[in-house]
Chains A and B, each alone.
Chain A
């Protein structure tokens, strides 16, 4: 079974801090995604990566950046956290156009 592991389940940060969210998958998937999940807004794509060192912006990339130095790891970076980035962050991976496998999520609170 595919395992997508997000490093933290809960995270509390202060406004202006630099925040790293880590995601690791163990099935050699080329695609990896970062979504944020907000009530009433559903899942919105922040960034995705279709290969090592390759990335594309999703629908809401402002205030975020990503890093994919190794195939199994995809990091989401909040350069200067703001309160409107308080959210549930979901990482996912997939093989080509196959189904997405999701991590359990990181609930980030920015105070």
Chain B
């Protein structure tokens, strides 16, 4: 079965501190992993996907197939990073269906 687990409901850090949002997945094939973000009063939008290997807004994520993880990291958190973050998995079918995790609220305090 496909499953995405984000163990932390809330992560609270101070501005300038490093951030790591955890994501673990369960999938028997070769998945594609994504991070989506929802800022206050905005639509859910793509932050990054593992195949592009880009760094967006200072965030990076590495797919670790051995640990089945795709943790999101940023070395220095900013207040504008406060948002809800969702990890998501796309399987190998052609439908583009995404399975999301439970979400983690990141709160960056001044």
CB-CB under 8 A for A42 and B100, given A97-B32, A99-B34: yes
Which residues on the A side are within 8 Å of B98 (C-beta)?
33, 45, 100
Interface size on A, residues (CB 8 A): 27
Residue of B nearest to A29 (CB): B96
Say which residue of A35, A40, A97 sits within 8 Å of B90 (CB atoms): A97
CB-CB under 8 A for A45 and B97, given A99-B49, A102-B44, A103-B43: yes
Could you tell me which residues of chain A, from 51 to 105, have a CB within 8 Å of some CB in chain B? 56, 58-59, 90, 92, 94-100, 102-105
Bound-state CA distance A103–B106 (Å) is 22
Which residues on the B side are within 8 Å of A56 (C-beta)?
95, 97
Which residues on the B side are within 8 Å of A94 (C-beta)?
96
Which residues on the A side are within 8 Å of B94 (C-beta)?
50, 96-97
Which residues on the B side are within 8 Å of A99 (C-beta)?
34, 46, 49
A102 with B45: CB separation less than 8 A: yes
Interface size on B, residues (CB 8 A): 23
Say which residue of A31, A41, A102 sits within 8 Å of B95 (CB atoms): A31
Please tell me if B6 contacts chain A, counting CB pairs below 8 Å. yes
Bound-state CA distance A56–B9 (Å) is 30
Residue of A nearest to B92 (CB): A97
Please tell me if B102 contacts chain A, counting CB pairs below 8 Å. yes
CB-CB under 8 A for A35 and B96, given A42-B6, A42-B86, A102-B43: no
- For the complex with contacts A96-B96, A97-B94, A102-B43, 5 further pairs of A-B residues with Cβ separation under 8 Å are A50-B94, A50-B95, A90-B44, A97-B32, A99-B49
Residues in A lying within 8 Å of B, measured CB to CB: 31, 33, 35, 40-45, 48, 50, 56, 58-59, 90, 92, 94-100, 102-105
